[in-house]
């Protein structure tokens, strides 16, 4: 009788784990690294754009936090900088990552743009890197 009770308890636990995708989720966590999973969830150059921000910050080896401008009504707090924000670092005011907002850039001349974000003119910038609608900008 005791073995039968243990069997049903074990079967119930396995069924609950299966219904909640425990085995699949564990496989995905073990198979993929953190950056790959975050890029899948937050997008490369869409949504919060973790992939683009990650690429820029890893390649620039900046000693400063870089401001991320993201204007999207569907994004709860309109700030993707929390991905890599370090409290002990200052912001670099000369470099900006602009996410999903091509309308904020106005072409002045060859590779020189005027950046206006939420009706605030932030000055002239040049594009250091671009992927679709994501820009890494350097102040002129």
Give the model's pLDDT for residue 10.
94
CA geometry: angle 42, 43, 46, nearest 5 deg: 115
Quick one: angle between helices 34-42 and 50-60, nearest 10? 140
Give the model's pLDDT for residue 9.
93
Task: Give the domain ranges of the chain.
Answer: 1-31, 34-139
CA geometry: angle 7, 8, 10, nearest 5 deg: 65
Give the model's pLDDT for residue 79.
62
Per-residue pLDDT of the chain (140 residues; tens, 9 = 90+): 788 899 999 999 999 999 999 999 899 888 889 888 888 888 888 888 889 988 988 887 778 888 888 876 565 555 666 677 777 888 888 888 888 877 788 888 877 888 888 888 888 999 898 898 888 999 98
Give the model's pLDDT for residue 73.
57
pTM of the full structure: 0.74
């Amino acid at each position: 009788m005791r073995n039968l009770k243990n069997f049903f308890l074990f079967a119930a636990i396995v069924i609950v784990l299966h219904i909640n995708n425990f085995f699949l989720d564990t496989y995905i966590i073990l198979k993929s690294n953190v950056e790959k999973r975050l890029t899948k969830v937050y997008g490369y150059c869409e949504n919060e754009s973790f992939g683009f921000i990650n690429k820029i910050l890893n390649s620039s080896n900046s000693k400063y936090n870089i401001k991320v401008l993201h204007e999207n009504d569907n994004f709860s707090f309109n700030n993707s900088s929390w991905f890599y924000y370090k409290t002990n670092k200052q912001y670099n005011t000369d470099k900006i990552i602009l996410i999903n907002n091509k309308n904020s850039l106005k072409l002045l001349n060859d590779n020189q743009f005027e950046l206006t974000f939420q009706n605030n003119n932030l000055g002239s910038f040049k594009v250091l890197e671009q992927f679709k609608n994501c820009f890494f900008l350097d102040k002129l």
